[in-house]
Chains A and B, each alone.
Chain A
Amino acid sequence: MTLVQAPPPVTLRAAPAAARRRPARSDMLERVTDGEHGPAASDPTLDDLLVATGVGDRAAFGALYDRTAARILGLVRRVVVDPAQAEEVAQDVFLEVWQTAPRFEAARGSAISWMFTLAHRRAVDRVRSAQSARDRDARIGARDLDVPVDSVAEAVEVRLDHERAHVALAELSDLQRECVTLAYYGGLTQSEIAERLDVPLGTVKTRMRDGMIRLRRVMGVST
């Protein structure tokens, strides 16, 4: 919890690749006492693993999969909703990650952001192609699009990033959050959101953009 209160400025970026050879004591102690929980500090970062995947390292790709699959599937499922379709999409996402990893440049963004971008695009494409606008509308109406912002730690499963994301989203105004989540989880375009909310398109554009700028500020992301 103390970590949550003192986030590093650029929180979504994995820590810089550390030398993998290092005095072993603290790492091993941590792993022995807490062996099941999360990667230790000396494990390769997701950036390392994606770069290694880009030169055909299947073991690295396997490790990357192990450490990101639940997050990727979670995102895809949130957008696509249907579990079986979500799994199909997630599989395609990982194949695309494998295929296009040579193009990943760690200097230009984090591995997880890069993977989320692929996953989200595919999920939205699936939603838009597989379902009519009417279906989608019903689907959106049938669930809560607004991310609960008072999420309580789910026992040991709590992930720092997950928790921090809720904290960050809580910083948006209700109207900004509505626009951003309708777009991101609902797969709606700006025009569709305007229609759905019955507000002018320009209003949607402004809210969405201001919401993104605000998220960037909260997360400490600058250009």
Chain B
Amino acid sequence: MTDAESPARREPDDFDALLAAYALDAVTEEERAIVEARLAESPELRAELAAHLEAAAVLADAAPPVAPPPALKASVFDRLDDVPQVSAAGATAPGGPAPAAPGAEPPGAEPPGAEPPGAEPPAASTADEREPGASLAGPAERAARRRWFQRPGVVIAAAAAAVLVVAGAVVGVNWPGPAGWGAQRSVQAIAEAPDAESVTVPSAEGGEVTIVWSEELGRSAVRASDLPDVGSASTYELWYIDEAGARPAGTFDPDAGAAYVVLEGEFTPGVVVGMTVEPAGGSEAPTTDPIVVVET
């Protein structure tokens, strides 16, 4: 805190003031160019700007949030293919925590106004070479995905031959709706087991899925949020996957994207839990690529 006080006590020189104004975008184009030229040469100034920008976020958060219309997200995603991601190498550009701000581009590269960012030079190469550990998917999930994709023939053939041992009295089958309170309670019961563990992963189709399991109870369950609606002709289906293949572990249809589901069948340690979109009624073996794969 004292480091913020000491500069405050002296008369700000013009550049100190200009940098603060820059963080608020209260500068002209010419001033912007001056600031960015200095930023490019000085890590200290970039750190100073970063602190200003964190503080400026307070102003942003003081603006009342506005719920976007649902169509906005769709139109963003519709255009993703038109805007290739830039190279990470640009991270050394000026701009502190916001190196990709338009101002971090060479002056003039980003004309004022709402030009779609598609004008960016295509330079996605190094992004692909990034350390895969930076991905959201944990190592277990990636390994599981690889396993699924590398041996699809094995998995599916084995699954077709797998004997269905799912009995009717499985916990979770008879709950009133996938997101009903009964299902939530049974998911909670698993989560409350002393040895319960969980992993949260994004679904490849959007939304998030948390798998929770207890070896002691021999059960696992899914809590999903923001899953896209797959329509009445399709359903989500869960799978237990092991060396013997993929076993169906129940289907569900989320309520407003959310679902609490206890998997049918017994959970065994090390089993892989997968989720696919299948034709309504479910399949006996996966017919599509998994949208969630978690190794327990």
A, B assembled together: yes
Which residues of A are interface residues toward B (Cβ below 8 A)? 10, 12-13, 20-25, 27-29, 31-32, 35, 42-44, 48-49, 51-52, 54-63, 65-66, 69-71, 73-75, 77-78, 86-92, 94-96, 98-105, 108-110, 112-114, 116-122, 124-126, 128-130, 147, 159, 161-162, 164-166, 168-169, 180-181, 183-185, 187-191, 193, 205-206, 208-223
Contact: A219 with B58, CB < 8 Å?
yes
Contact: B52 with A98, CB < 8 Å?
no
Select from chain A the residue with minimum beta-carbon distance to B104: A103
Contact: A95 with B52, CB < 8 Å?
no
Picked from A10, A99, A165, A217, the residue with its CB within 8 Å of the CB of B85 is: A99
**A28-B198, A187-B25, A217-B1 are contacts. A103–B90 as well, Cβ < 8 Å?**
yes
Knowing that A23-B197, A184-B59 are A-B contacts, what are 10 other residue pairs whose CB atoms are under 8 Å apart, sorted by A's residue number? A95-B80, A101-B85, A103-B104, A109-B50, A121-B103, A147-B63, A189-B28, A193-B26, A212-B24, A221-B55
Which residues of B are interface residues toward A (Cβ below 8 A)? 1, 3-5, 7-8, 11-12, 14, 16-18, 20-21, 23-28, 31, 44, 46-48, 50-69, 72-73, 75-77, 79-80, 83-88, 90-91, 93, 95-104, 112-114, 116-118, 120, 124, 126-128, 130, 132, 134-138, 140, 184-185, 187-188, 190-193, 196-208, 210, 212, 223, 225-226, 258, 260
Cβ contacts under 8 Å, B98 to chain A: 109, 113-114, 117-118
* B135 → chain A closest CB, angstroms: 5
Contact: B60 with A75, CB < 8 Å?
yes
Cβ contacts under 8 Å, A56 to chain B: 85, 127-128
- Complex Cα spacing A207 to B167, Å: 73
Cβ contacts under 8 Å, A54 to chain B: 85, 88, 127, 130, 134
Main secondary structure of the interface of A (DSSP, over half): helix
Cβ contacts under 8 Å, A187 to chain B: 25
Contact: A216 with B100, CB < 8 Å?
no
